[in-house]
């Protein structure tokens, strides 16, 4: 599915860049005195003596993850392994890690099987998300079965090693992100779903959101996600220390079994194996399709991923549509109003639970308040004439919101969430006509260098600014130097040094990962820049897309400049899905629309094939000649062959910190 394609592209980026990254790791610097001062200010500004989260994270502990959480795939590759993160057990944060982020990751590292409350158990830190197991009268209800099926299977095995065996009867997907459904085949047999022995529940719109999100810009998102999650960073105090929302994503096998039942209405109630679930839909919040629910008999509530122990993303740095903070806050308000009088425990799809009605309601209300505050105050300052960047620099949280560890920017950040709200309402343009049609990066970089007196002079001044701890500015000015001349090793190294210190200072896991990944790529020798290659097996992922989405993706891949003056028509009769499509290229735009058998013009080229053969042809894994030999094509194939030459295959490892 769409998320599987995104994951595949991320792993390909990791594979092609790993060697150079390991070389760059040896060049990592120590924290400067300026960075150490920033870290000390963080320690003095927060109450690190508050151990309530650590007590909650350890409460109900039953058993550790076997073998330090090491999980292997069938081919022997590691899907998960906590051993390289042993350094995080040191109580004192290293100077190269923001102490608040260090604290958060130590909490995430509280791993194993836990009892949340009567009949509710969780396996934590066997993936970026939690596997929740709810004991029904006769079977199990599995909630959000992780990213990879190997990890989900290991989590369920740990549960069975410590609790009486009951068969899995239900699976619930809380929302449409892959870390909440990707491991489903590790806890159920697909044939049991087909036979009605296992039912899968999901919020309205789940399947469409799970398949569609991130397809059309998937390659760009995958490349940026490799930065955001730090997939190229070795675990170390100078490298990867987590993502804030969890440690990282597992790298096993993804799956998606479509839901058998969907929740369509707020307040919808279902009896699942003797337990009464009351559902509340929360669409277009943290995910396009998401839901909260309350179990009456257990007085247990979940707000899915809308209330976790970090400020979340209104805009995710890997790239996606901006999320609406008002809808997010309203969903949390509705949850408190509907269930707040009786709730005794709040358990999440990430992080650790919280107990006690007053604490739970306060937590939900604070989370709602921070999203409302960011929304309202961003627009307040925008209406005073401040730009997106100015608001992000000026707007601060009030003490009640700023002092709560659960609202710190470990995953999202106040800065980029402010920019998300501005963009949601006002878009990318700040109204200044000088910013309306700016030069592209390389052209503007060369002019900046010329106006500033040349690269040598700029580097001299930048080194002085670096020595004064002005890392943000040094990164900005060296970025111009690198884009003007990517072979300028001194500029690359100085920018890398500045980004590295910013990474060490960052409280947000994704910010740290972006900074440190950029630093490592800059330190690579220019000749080792990742070769542009096609992701292996990409077409196999695309086979899972419904054809309407595949055609849209194919149309995006058309090189419109090369398509000028070209025309093409074709009917595609898909035998195994009983679909008929009419493809037409005109005015450099490729279109696909549903057709009827009566509309087929016998003079126009026809493709009659099964869906996998149709996609294989356009993915060029089945040649036109082979398709002719199989009798799949009828008519003149000249225009088809011409069309296939201008369908691009996107590469997942394009440059980011250099032109």
Question: In sequence order, which ranges of 579-618 are alpha helices (DSSP H)?
Answer: 611-618
* pLDDT tens-digit map of 558-611: 999 999 999 999 999 999 999 999 999 999 999 999 999 999 999 999 999 999
The rounded distance, in Å, linking the Cα atoms of 532 and 367 is: 43
Residue 580 main-chain phi, psi, to 5 deg: -130, 130
Residue 372 has pLDDT above 80, yes or no: yes
Task: Please report the pLDDT score of residue 525 as a whole number.
Answer: 56
Per-residue confidence band for 4, with pLDDT thresholds at 50, 70 and 90: very low
**Cα dist from 478 to 267, 441, 445, 658, whole Å:** 55, 13, 10, 11
DSSP state of 488: -
The rounded distance, in Å, linking the Cα atoms of 352 and 67 is: 22
| Helices and strands (H and E) in the chain: how many | 23, 21
**Residue 565, C-beta contacts closer than 8 angstroms, at least 6 positions apart:** none
Which contiguous run of DSSP H or E holds residue 450?
A: helix 441-451
Q: How many CB atoms lie within 10 A of CB 79?
A: 24
Residue 34 has pLDDT above 80, yes or no: yes
For residue 556, the Cα-to-chain-centroid distance in whole angstroms is 22
Q: What share of the chain is helix, strand, coil (3-state, %, to 5)?
A: 45, 15, 40
Q: Angle 509-523/489-505 helices, nearest 10 degrees?
A: 160
Query: Contact 3/220 with Cβ under 8 angstroms?
Result: no
DSSP state of 659: -
pTM above the 0.85 mark? yes
Tokens 């088809």 -> residue: 640
In the structure encoding, which two tokens stand for residue 84, read together? 């390289």
DSSP state of 116: E
Tokens 């037409």 -> residue: 584
In the structure encoding, which two tokens stand for residue 201, read together? 């529940």
In the structure encoding, which two tokens stand for residue 555, read together? 């149309």
| Cα angle, residue 204 at apex, residues 177 and 335 outer, rounded to 5° | 85
Query: Contact 391/426 with Cβ under 8 angstroms?
Result: no
CATH number of 438-528: 1.25.40.880
Which contiguous run of DSSP H or E holds residue 113?
A: strand 112-117
Query: Contact 222/652 with Cβ under 8 angstroms?
Result: yes
Query: Contact 139/169 with Cβ under 8 angstroms?
Result: yes
Residue 378 has pLDDT above 60, yes or no: yes
Per-residue confidence band for 334, with pLDDT thresholds at 50, 70 and 90: very high
* pLDDT tens-digit map of 139-193: 999 999 999 999 999 999 999 999 999 999 999 999 999 999 999 999 999 999 9
CATH number of 538-644: 3.30.1050.10
E runs forming strands in 527-632: 568-574, 579-586, 589-594, 606-609
| Cα angle, residue 124 at apex, residues 121 and 127 outer, rounded to 5° | 135
Residue 376 has pLDDT above 80, yes or no: yes
**Cα dist from 481 to 227, 485, 488, whole Å:** 22, 6, 7
Query: Which residues are paired to 589 by β-bridges?
Result: 586
| Cα angle, residue 69 at apex, residues 67 and 75 outer, rounded to 5° | 90
**Cα dist from 535 to 8, 10, 37, whole Å:** 8, 9, 43
| Cα angle, residue 170 at apex, residues 167 and 172 outer, rounded to 5° | 140
For CA atoms 629, 634, 635, 641, the dihedral sign is: negative
For 338-359, what is the mean pLDDT? Answer: 98
Query: Which residues are paired to 201 by β-bridges?
Result: 172, 261
* HEC secondary structure over 156-222: HHHHHCCCCCCCEEEEECCECCHHHCCCHHHCCCHHHHHCCCCEEEEECCHHHHHHHCCCCCHHHHH
In the structure encoding, which two tokens stand for residue 324, read together? 């609406």
Q: What is the CA radius of gyration of the chain?
A: 26
The rounded distance, in Å, linking the Cα atoms of 404 and 395 is: 17
DSSP state of 95: T
Task: Please report the pLDDT score of residue 543 as a whole number.
Answer: 55
* pLDDT tens-digit map of 264-289: 999 999 999 999 999 999 999 999 99
Per-residue confidence band for 2, with pLDDT thresholds at 50, 70 and 90: very low
* pLDDT tens-digit map of 53-108: 999 999 999 999 999 999 999 999 999 999 999 999 988 999 999 999 999 999 99
CATH homologous superfamily for the domain 2-252+272-371: Metallo-beta-lactamase domain (3.60.15.30)
Full strand arrangement of the beta sheet holding 140-143: 61-63, 112-117, 120-124, 131-135, 140-143, 168-172, 199-203, 261-263
* pLDDT tens-digit map of 434-484: 999 999 999 999 999 999 999 999 999 999 999 999 999 999 999 999 999
Query: Which residues are paired to 6 by β-bridges?
Result: none
| Cα angle, residue 72 at apex, residues 69 and 73 outer, rounded to 5° | 145
**Residue 218, C-beta contacts closer than 8 angstroms, at least 6 positions apart:** 2, 5, 6, 9
For 390-404, what is the mean pLDDT? Answer: 97
Residue 402 has pLDDT above 60, yes or no: yes
The rounded distance, in Å, linking the Cα atoms of 126 and 114 is: 12
The rounded distance, in Å, linking the Cα atoms of 114 and 159 is: 9
β-bridge pairing 261-263 and 199-203: parallel
The closest alpha carbon to 122, from 378, 333, 300, belongs to: 300
For residue 390, the Cα-to-chain-centroid distance in whole angstroms is 27
Which contiguous run of DSSP H or E holds residue 36?
A: helix 33-45
Largest CA distance in the chain: 79
Q: Where are the domains positioned within the chain?
A: 2-252+272-371, 438-528, 538-644
Tokens 């700016």 -> residue: 438
Query: Contact 249/147 with Cβ under 8 angstroms?
Result: yes
Per-residue confidence band for 25, with pLDDT thresholds at 50, 70 and 90: low
* pLDDT tens-digit map of 100-129: 999 999 999 999 999 999 999 999 999 999
Q: Angle 509-523/2-25 helices, nearest 10 degrees?
A: 60
DSSP state of 612: H
**Cα dist from 119 to 38, 107, 122, 151, 335, whole Å:** 45, 24, 10, 22, 22
């Amino acid at each position: 599915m769409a998320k599987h394609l995104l994951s595949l592209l991320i792993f390909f980026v990791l594979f092609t860049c790993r060697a150079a990254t390991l070389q760059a790791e040896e060049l990592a610097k120590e924290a400067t005195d300026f960075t150490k001062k920033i870290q000390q200010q963080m320690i003095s500004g927060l109450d690190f003596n508050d151990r309530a989260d650590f007590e909650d994270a350890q409460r109900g502990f039953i058993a550790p993850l076997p073998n330090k959480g090491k999980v292997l795939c069938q081919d022997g590759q590691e899907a998960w392994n906590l051993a390289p993160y042993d350094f995080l057990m040191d109580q004192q944060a290293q100077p190269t890690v923001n102490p608040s982020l260090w604290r958060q990751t130590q909490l995430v590292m509280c791993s194993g099987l836990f009892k949340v409350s009567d009949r509710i158990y969780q396996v934590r830190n066997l993936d970026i998300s939690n596997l929740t197991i709810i004991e029904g009268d006769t079977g199990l209800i599995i909630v959000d079965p992780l990213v990879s099926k190997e990890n989900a299977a290991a989590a369920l095995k740990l549960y069975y090693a410590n609790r009486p065996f009951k068969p899995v009867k239900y699976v619930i997907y809380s929302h449409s992100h892959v870390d909440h459904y990707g491991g489903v085949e590790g806890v159920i047999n697909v044939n049991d779903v087909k036979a009605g022995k296992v039912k899968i529940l999901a919020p309205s719109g789940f399947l469409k959101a799970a398949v569609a999100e991130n397809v059309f810009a998937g390659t760009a998102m995958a490349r940026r996600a490799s930065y955001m999650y730090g997939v190229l960073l070795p675990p170390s105090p100078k490298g990867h220390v987590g993502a804030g929302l969890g440690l990282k994503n597992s790298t096993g096998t993804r799956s998606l079994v479509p839901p058998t039942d969907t929740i369509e209405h707020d307040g919808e109630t279902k009896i699942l194996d003797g337990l009464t679930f009351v559902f509340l839909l929360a669409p277009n919040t943290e995910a396009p399709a998401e839901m909260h629910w309350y179990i009456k008999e257990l007085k247990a509530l979940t707000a899915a991923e809308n209330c976790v122990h970090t400020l979340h993303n209104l805009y995710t740095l890997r790239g996606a549509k901006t999320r609406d903070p008002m809808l997010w806050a309203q969903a949390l308000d509705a949850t408190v109003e509907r269930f707040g009088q009786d709730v005794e425990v709040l358990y999440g799809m990430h992080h650790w639970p919280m107990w006690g009605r007053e604490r739970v309601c306060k937590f939900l209300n604070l989370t709602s308040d921070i999203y409302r505050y960011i929304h309202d105050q961003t627009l307040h300052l925008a209406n005073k004439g401040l730009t997106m960047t100015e608001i992000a620099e000026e707007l601060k949280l009030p003490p009640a919101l700023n002092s709560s560890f659960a609202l710190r920017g470990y995953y999202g950040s106040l800065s980029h969430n402010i920019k998300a709200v501005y963009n949601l309402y006002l878009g990318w343009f700040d109204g200044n006509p000088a910013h309306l049609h700016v030069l592209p990066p390389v052209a503007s970089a060369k002019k900046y260098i010329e106006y500033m007196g040349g690269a040598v002079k700029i580097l001299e001044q930048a080194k002085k600014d670096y020595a004064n701890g002005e890392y943000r500015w040094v990164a900005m000015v060296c970025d111009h130097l690198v884009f003007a001349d990517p072979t300028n090793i001194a500029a690359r190294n100085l920018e890398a040094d500045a980004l590295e210190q910013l990474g060490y200072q960052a409280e947000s896991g994704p910010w740290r990962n972006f900074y440190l990944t950029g630093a490592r790529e800059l330190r690579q020798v220019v000749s080792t820049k990742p070769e542009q290659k096609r992701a292996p097996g990409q077409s196999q992922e695309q086979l899972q897309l419904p054809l309407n989405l595949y055609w849209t993706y194919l149309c995006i891949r058309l090189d419109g400049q090369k398509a000028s003056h070209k025309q093409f028509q074709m009917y595609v009769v898909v035998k195994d899905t009983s679909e008929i499509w009419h493809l037409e290229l005109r005015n450099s735009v490729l279109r696909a629309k549903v057709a009827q058998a009566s509309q087929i013009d016998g003079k126009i080229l026809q493709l009659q094939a099964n869906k996998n053969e149709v996609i294989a042809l356009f993915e060029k894994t089945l040649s036109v000649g082979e398709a002719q030999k199989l009798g799949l094509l009828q008519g003149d194939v000249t225009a088809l062959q011409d069309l296939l030459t201008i369908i691009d295959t996107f590469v997942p490892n394009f440059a980011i910190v250099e032109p």
